[in-house]
Amino acid sequence: MLKQLEGYFEFQRLGTNWRTEIVAGLTTFLTMAYIVLVNPNILHETGMPLAAVTAATCLSAGFASILMGVFARYPLALAPGMGLNAYFTYTVCLKMHIPWQIALGAVFFSGVLFLLLTAAGVRQMILRAIPPELYAAVAGGIGLFIAFIGFQHAGLIAADPNTMVTMGNIRNPSSVLALLGLLIMVVLEVKQVRGAILIGVLSVTALAWAFGLVHWTPLAGGFGPLRDTALHLDIRGALGEGLLEIIFVFFFVDLFDNLGTLVAVTKRAGLIEADNTVPRLNRILFTDAVSTVFGSLTGTSTVTSYVESTAGVAAGGRSGVTAIVTGVLFLCAIAAVPIVGMVPAAATAPALIIVGALMVGTVTEIRWHDPLVAVPAFLTLVLIPLTYSIANGLGFGVIAWAVLHLFTGKFRRQDWLLYILAALFLARFIYLGVG
């Protein structure tokens, strides 16, 4: 039996073994485990029950990672995405006043759209049409977006009627704890300690509890709480006026996330072919799409691949067994549901800040010396956090890219699909007036 499994996962060709794959899967889990604590606390602000969202997070991450390992056979782990969970909560639900049930319906349709476009080959066409510099700008903009939210949760940034924002009270105990948590995470990241973010979250939680800053009421454990979110999505409501752009944003950002992570992991693992193609690419894309649909059915925001998977690859992971081990550990993490309620904002805020900081690193891929590239990228980068909308930032970036190339006579260099996307974004801005 083991020999057959080793053959299926190509252990001999990949030069790996069971021990290496298991250790790699554990390593990936430790670097990603913070999502079990952070994602529920973000989505809970929409009114979703905390215990149910925690269970949905564990179940969707476990299912998605195991499916990736078994079906696509890549050491690529998945979970509800950082950035998209913030967009789901703070833009869609809180800013646009859309109920979380309808927002889950939008996530569902984005996953279905993913499946259809993957099967038709359109997804690959879109990937080719969007310039890589805009991918980088979107990732950087989302990084600024979630870091800004982290600073707000930490009390380090406060609202101001004159300047919109100002410095918060850093003498506030919660702000002090958040800064301490950020210091712990950064130091551990520099020292390349696995699970640095998770350790920081747990450390701040322990300190907050010790000083009486949090009051813990144990939550119901297991998968039982799922009944409060599972299959509660409003599919009909998600097709209402104004919701199509939300589906579009969920789809596009998941597309970019998946592409960037896929390139990073396969390059690190040496799994890209000599002609720069990725074997079983459609299986990877299919898994990502199915996982998003599954996540919406259980009660969580878009599920996507995690760049933290490179930690497992660095530990020697090369096959799908790495992802399977990570997925099994996420299912076991359901035991953490009862304690999630004691995690304060001061503990999750530094996690948002450091994840945002790491995401902003993609801006180094932008050719800042070239105005044709720099201006659209800059608009994308800054308008995402300033307008609290990924759609606005991406829209201005695509329009600026198309218009600048059109008026400088370099329009032939761009894919025709880019101009169609720019026209759609322009029509959206004219119709809605504001984001």
Helix, coil or strand: residue 414: coil
**72 within domain boundaries:** yes
Same domain, 285 and 410: no
Q: Give the count of beta carbons closer than 10 Å to the beta carbon of residue 185.
A: 26
Same domain, 246 and 384: no
Quote the number of domains for the chain. 2
How far is residue 264's CA from residue 210's CA, in Å, rounded to a whole number?
Answer: 40
Same domain, 286 and 243: yes
Q: Which of 341, 359, 384 is the last residue of a domain?
A: 341
Q: Which of 280, 306, 341 is the last residue of a domain?
A: 341
**85 within domain boundaries:** yes
Region 229-253: what's the mean pLDDT?
82
Region 117-138: what's the mean pLDDT?
78
Same domain, 226 and 375: no
Same domain, 6 and 116: yes
Same domain, 238 and 332: yes
Highest mean pLDDT among 9-23, 44-58, 331-345, 381-395: 44-58
**253 within domain boundaries:** yes
pLDDT above 80 for 435:
no
Highest mean pLDDT among 16-20, 58-62, 344-348: 58-62
331, burial (CB in 10 Å: exposed 0-12, middle 13-18, buried 19+) = middle
* pLDDT at position 300: 96
**310 within domain boundaries:** yes
Range of the domain at 379: 367-435
Which helix (H) or strand (E) is 384 found in, with range?
A: helix 371-386
The three-state (H, E, C) secondary structure of 59-102, written as one string: HHHHHHHHHHHHHHCCCCCEEECCCHHHHHHHHHHHHCCCCHHH
Residues 6+ apart with CB under 8 A from 91: 388, 389, 390
**382 within domain boundaries:** yes
pLDDT above 70 for 169:
yes
**360 within domain boundaries:** no
Region 214-231: what's the mean pLDDT?
77
* pLDDT at position 263: 64
Same domain, 317 and 227: yes
* pLDDT at position 378: 96
Same domain, 435 and 294: no
Same domain, 7 and 82: yes
**362 within domain boundaries:** no
Same domain, 312 and 412: no
* pLDDT at position 170: 84
Residues 322-343 pLDDT 10s? 999 999 999 998 887 777 777 7
How far is residue 10's CA from residue 7's CA, in Å, rounded to a whole number?
Answer: 5
pTM exceeds cut of 0.85: no
Question: Between 298 and 273, whose confidence is greater?
Answer: 298
**378 within domain boundaries:** yes
Same domain, 113 and 237: yes
Same domain, 258 and 398: no
